[in-house]
Structures are given as C-alpha cells and as structure tokens.
C-alpha cells in the first residue's frame, strides 16, 4: 500500500533524496555543460564536448541532485469525522497516514502530522520524522478514535506551525465545515503544495425512503426528527448537490484538485490521482 506521491515542479533541498530539485550535485540526471574553470571537477569532464569546443575549452557535465521533501498530514478530527459507515472515517485517515509514513521512509522524506478540531490535539500530533514507527502508533490511536471537536480552528493553528520552506501538505477532511473556514485554511497554505483529501461515505446520503427520519448535525451533534416527503427529499438532495458544487468551486479558485476517497482507503486511487494530475 505504497503511495507514489509526485510534485508538479522542482524543490529547493540540500539533502539527497528522490525528488527533482533546483540544486546540482552527485545526481544522475544531466542538467547542462559548464566551463571547467567555473566548476573545476575532473570527474565530470565531458571529453566529447571538450573536443568539439572550437576554442579548446574544457567542459564538465553538471548533474541534477535529487532532494528530500518535508511532508505534513493535517487531520480533521471534528465531530463529523466520527462517522462510521461502511468505511469509518477515522480508519481511512489512519490507513492513509500509515501508508504515507511508509512511503516517506522509502523516499528518505520526513513526515509530520497535526490532528486538530477547534484546537490542536497533542495525542494526534507528530513532529517531522523519517521513521514510520511513530506514525504507526498514531494510526493505531486514530483507528479507535471518536472525534468530538467542533470546527477547524485548530487546523489553522497547525498551518501557522508549518515551515516557511515549501512542503507537500495533505489536508485530510470531509470538509463539512463552513466554506469561509475552508477558504481561510487554503489561503494559509498558499505557499505549499497542497492535496485536499476528501473523505466521504455513502451512508451520509439523504434518506431514500419516505417517513420519519432522524437527521444529525455531524459537526455540532444536534438532532432533528423530520417527516421525509418527496418535496423535502428533493430540496435536501438539491442542497447537497449545491454544497458539493460550491466546495469544488472553492478548490478550483485556489488552484487545487481534490483527491476524493469515498470507498475507503485505496492506494491505487491515490497513485492514479498523482499520475493523472502531475
């Protein structure tokens, strides 16, 4: 269940790794030729290019140095993420976090995790590390977690704690919070590469049969009994579709394409997202 994450551009990095970078060094990807006096390294002499130089100058090959990347997972642990349908949301988050940690370790990258609702939750936070065992422990806590928080203000706190250098950020949520908060959250991440990971479950859909239904506000926890008639069901379905369209528009305005997981964790779905988009 390895995640083959990719980036759309080159990164600034000093530690040798697996990602395209702007730096040069001991890599295997050819970047360009340079005069020997500018880069006096006999190991990099290009004899063919040197012999072809009409002025008799020596040329060296400049190679690209792949670099490591810092990755962060921002986990929404507000009340709506407690939904446990066919694919419980906390379990999907746990599977994603564990797979990401394994993949980061193989690439030599570091992974940090911030879990939050109205505030940061220390038991679901992890400082940047290149070893996956700590993330496995955190994932174990996630699988049995029952999120109860309200709102996403804690995730905004997490955004302010990210490094200034560009990182790859997975924003993992069902995005049931107000659109204004989502815009604020995405605006705060504008200096990073961001993948909004949308976790939905078919069990959250509008009741299909007429009759008395108990509707629960997933974020606030309030409940209402409603008589579901055809007209009301149509209005609820229309509101749900409008919500999805507005959420999609918010992502488009910020230049993001969401990764939707509505059938549980799937490494194949995630890898296809990166292959198609990047």
CATH number at residue 149: 3.40.50.410
Domain count, the chain: 2
Interacting residues of 166 by C-beta distance below 8 A, sequence separation 6+: 11, 12, 191, 192, 193
45 in a structural domain: yes
Pick out the chain residues at pLDDT < 70. Answer: 9-30, 32, 65-67, 203-237, 239, 277-278
251 in a structural domain: no
Question: How far apart are the C-alpha atoms of 172 and 93, rounded to whole Å?
Answer: 7
1 in a structural domain: no
Per DSSP (E only), the strands in 65-123 are: 67, 70-76, 110-116
Please tell me whether residues 144 and 48 are part of one structural domain.
no
Question: How far apart are the C-alpha atoms of 18 and 10, rounded to whole Å?
Answer: 11
Question: How far apart are the C-alpha atoms of 188 and 180, rounded to whole Å?
Answer: 13
Question: How far apart are the C-alpha atoms of 171 and 8, rounded to whole Å?
Answer: 17
The pLDDT assigned to 22 comes to: 58
Q: Token digits for 196?
A: 């909004």
pTM for this predicted structure? 0.80
224 in a structural domain: no
pLDDT, tens digit (0-9, with 9 covering 90-100), for 1-41: 788 888 776 666 666 555 565 556 665 666 768 787 777 88
Please tell me whether residues 47 and 138 are part of one structural domain.
no
Question: How far apart are the C-alpha atoms of 202 and 244, rounded to whole Å?
Answer: 14
The pLDDT assigned to 217 comes to: 53
Question: How far apart are the C-alpha atoms of 237 and 205, rounded to whole Å?
Answer: 8
pLDDT, tens digit (0-9, with 9 covering 90-100), for 191-206: 899 999 999 887 666 5
Please tell me whether residues 168 and 107 are part of one structural domain.
yes
Instruction: Say if residue 82 is exposed, middle or buried (CB neighbours under 10 Å; 0-12, 13-18, 19+).
Output: middle
Please tell me whether residues 139 and 89 are part of one structural domain.
yes
Cβ atoms within 10 Å, residue 233? 17
| CA distance readout (Å), 198 to 130, 175, 263 | 25, 7, 11
Q: What is the residue range of 44's domain?
A: 24-64
């Amino acid at each position: 269940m390895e995640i083959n994450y990719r980036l759309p551009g080159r990164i600034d990095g000093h530690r040798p790794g697996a990602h395209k970078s702007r730096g040069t060094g001991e890599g295997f990807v050819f970047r360009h030729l340079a005069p020997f006096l500018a880069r006096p390294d006999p190991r990099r002499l290009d004899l063919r290019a040197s012999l072809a130089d009409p002025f008799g100058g020596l040329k060296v090959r400049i190679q690209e140095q792949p670099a490591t990347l810092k990755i962060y997972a921002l986990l929404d642990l507000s009340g709506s993420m407690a939904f446990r349908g066919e694919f419980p949301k906390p379990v999907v988050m746990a599977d994603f976090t564990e797979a990401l940690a394994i993949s980061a370790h193989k690439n030599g990258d570091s992974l940090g995790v911030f879990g939050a609702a109205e505030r940061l939750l220390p038991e679901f936070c992890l400082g940047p590390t290149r070893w996956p065992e700590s993330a496995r422990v955190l994932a174990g806590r996630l699988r049995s977690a029952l999120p109860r928080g309200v709102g996403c203000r804690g995730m905004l706190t997490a955004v302010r704690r990210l490094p200034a250098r560009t990182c790859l950020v997975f924003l993992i949520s069902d995005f049931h919070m107000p659109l204004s908060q989502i815009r604020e959250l995405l605006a705060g991440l504008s200096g990073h590469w961001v993948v909004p990971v949308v976790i939905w479950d078919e069990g959250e859909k509008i009741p299909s049969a007429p009759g008395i239904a108990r509707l629960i506000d997933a974020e606030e926890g309030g409940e209402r009994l409603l008589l579901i008639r055809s007209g009301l069901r149509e209005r609820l379905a229309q509101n749900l579709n409008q919500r999805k369209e507005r959420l999609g528009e918010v992502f488009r305005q910020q230049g993001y394409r969401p990764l939707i997981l509505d059938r549980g964790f799937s490494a194949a779905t995630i890898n296809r997202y990166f292959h198609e988009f990047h």
